[in-house]
Amino acid sequence: MDLSDLKKSIESIIFISDQPVSVDKLSLAFPNVERAQLRKCLKELVEEWEEFSRGFLLSEIAGGFQFRTDPRYSEDISNYNKKVKKFRLSRPALEVTAIIAYKQPVTRVEIESIRGVDSSGVINVLLERRVVEIKGRKEVIGKPFLYGTTAEFLEVFGLKSLNDLPTLKELDEITQNLEPSITPEPESNETTL
């Protein structure tokens, strides 16, 4: 198979997939193609779709590749299709999500000791929305659940991996730059799915 056909095949697989497609999954579909060649094709496809400047992009996300609508057009999409739901998280849900993302695996008690308030209801909402999941149990008295983020967390927040989360130092710099112009924030933040 020549490079052009390989890229078209990869593109087709990603297009029909409802989840990000990893290099591992592609290597199963193309057992005679080296991983380096698959990565090269993926890199070229991402660049080509970016150059097209269309309404959707090929993005590396959640450990794989997926076609996603350009975020600049999310409001227009929502106006057209009222069935497209915005992913909304309350301020407490964002706090708990951030704690889990940075401290995982973490127990409810550990989350509550950081926040200073009961977080069981918020954790249940995040579990229902599949942003976090139970990763196991901590080997202490009572064996409490350990929580961690999911691949859907990465998709919702547009991250390739947890390594893309800003460092605590970067977060501190961001908040310091925002302090002079602090304005009240809305009760919920949203990201389009």
Of 17-21, 72-76, 121-125, give the lowest mean pLDDT range. Answer: 72-76
3-state SS, residue 119? coil
CA–CA separation, 168 and 189 (whole Å): 21
89 or 16: which leads in pLDDT = 16
Q: Please report, as a single letter, which amino acid is at residue 15.
A: F
pLDDT at residue number 167: 84
Walk me through the domains of the chain, giving residue ranges and CATH numbers.
3-73 (1.10.10.10), 86-192 (1.10.10.10)
Q: Cβ(154)–Cβ(64) under 8 Å? A: no
Q: What is the pTM of this model?
A: 0.60
> What is the average pLDDT score of the chain?
85
Q: Say how far apart CA 103 and CA 89 lie, in whole Å.
A: 19
Q: Which of 53-62, 90-99, 117-126, 170-179 has the lowest mean pLDDT?
A: 170-179
Question: For the segment 17-42, what is each residue's pLDDT rounded down to a tens digit?
Answer: 988 999 999 999 999 999 999 999 99
When pLDDT is averaged across residues 98-126 and rounded to a whole number, the result is: 93
Tell me what pLDDT residue 101 has: 94
Sequence letter at residue 175: T
Query: By C-alpha distance, which of 160, 40, 19 is closest to 30?
Result: 40
What helix, strand, coil percent values describe the chain, rounded to 5?
55, 20, 30
Confidence label for 187 from pLDDT (cuts 50, 70 and 90): very low
- Amino acid code (one letter) for 189: N
> What is the phi-psi region of residue 168: left when phi exceeds 0, alpha when psi lies from -120 to 50, beta otherwise?
alpha
Q: Are 132 and 93 in contact (CB under 8 A)?
A: no
| 129-185 tens-digit pLDDT | 899 999 999 999 999 999 999 998 998 888 888 998 988 788 777 777 765 544 444
